């Protein structure tokens, strides 16, 4: 059986579902391929890389906490985090009743070249912003936003730039494409599946 594997650059404001949502944009507005489903989710106010497939075993291996595959995000945060705040994020943060796993976190300098967002992030002359790259091996609901807020740097904009071996490169917001054979092989090797 032949499976489909798609990469999609989800724009801000798009819901990660195919069913109608009271006039709000969904995946159905962008992807005309039947019977593929998002592997994991991105909140409506988050942007970036989404993998879609009809391969159920792959979906399970990429979403199960047991497999701990990496996901990388770029977060634009309020104010410039100091070394202590970044170290806290790297060690893990207590969020409500949950301790996050250690994460790879670094400040992006220079700031990344990202497409403009509609609507744009609010600008305040008196509050500088900074961009962080965070690589997590878990995906709790709104985790990056809760982590940065816990160390005093609320997230203003969040873009997922990588899922495991897959990257957002060469995809503009709203664009999608099939995985290349090389991407399928690398992903399959990581999750121990033949794709």
3-state secondary structure (DSSP) of residue 89: helix
| Residue 113, CB-side half-sphere exposure with 13 Å CA sphere | 3
Given the structure tokens 């033949």, which residue do they identify? Answer: 194
Active-site option among 22, 29, 43, 178: 43
User: Is 43 a residue of the active site?
Assistant: yes
Give the contacts of 165 (CB within 8 A, at least 6 positions apart).
183, 186, 187, 190
**Closest by Cα among 79, 78, 71, 101 to 89:** 101
What single string gives the DSSP state of each residue in 53-76?
Answer: ES-HHHHHHHH-TTT---EEEEEE
Burial degree of 188 (CB within 10 A; 0-12, 13-18, 19+): middle
Catalytic residues: 43
């Amino acid at each position: 059986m032949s499976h489909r594997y798609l990469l999609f650059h989800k724009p801000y404001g798009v819901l990660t579902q195919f069913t109608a949502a009271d006039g709000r944009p969904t995946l159905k507005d962008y992807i005309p391929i039947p019977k593929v489903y998002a592997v994991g989710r991105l909140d409506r106010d988050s942007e970036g890389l989404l993998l879609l497939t009809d391969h159920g075993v792959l979906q399970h291996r990429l979403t199960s906490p047991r497999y701990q595959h990496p996901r990388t995000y770029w977060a634009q945060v309020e104010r410039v985090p100091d070394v202590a705040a970044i170290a806290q994020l790297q060690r893990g943060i207590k969020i409500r009743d949950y301790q996050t796993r250690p994460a790879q976190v670094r400040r992006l300098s220079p700031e990344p070249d990202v497409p403009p967002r509609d609507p744009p992030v609010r600008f305040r002359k008196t509050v500088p912003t900074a961009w962080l790259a965070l690589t997590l091996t878990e995906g709790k609901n709104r985790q990056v936003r809760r982590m940065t807020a816990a160390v005093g740097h609320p997230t203003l904009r969040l873009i997922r730039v990588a899922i495991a071996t897959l990257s957002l490169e060469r995809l503009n917001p709203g664009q999608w494409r099939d995985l290349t054979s090389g991407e399928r092989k690398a992903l399959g090797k990581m999750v121990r599946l033949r794709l």
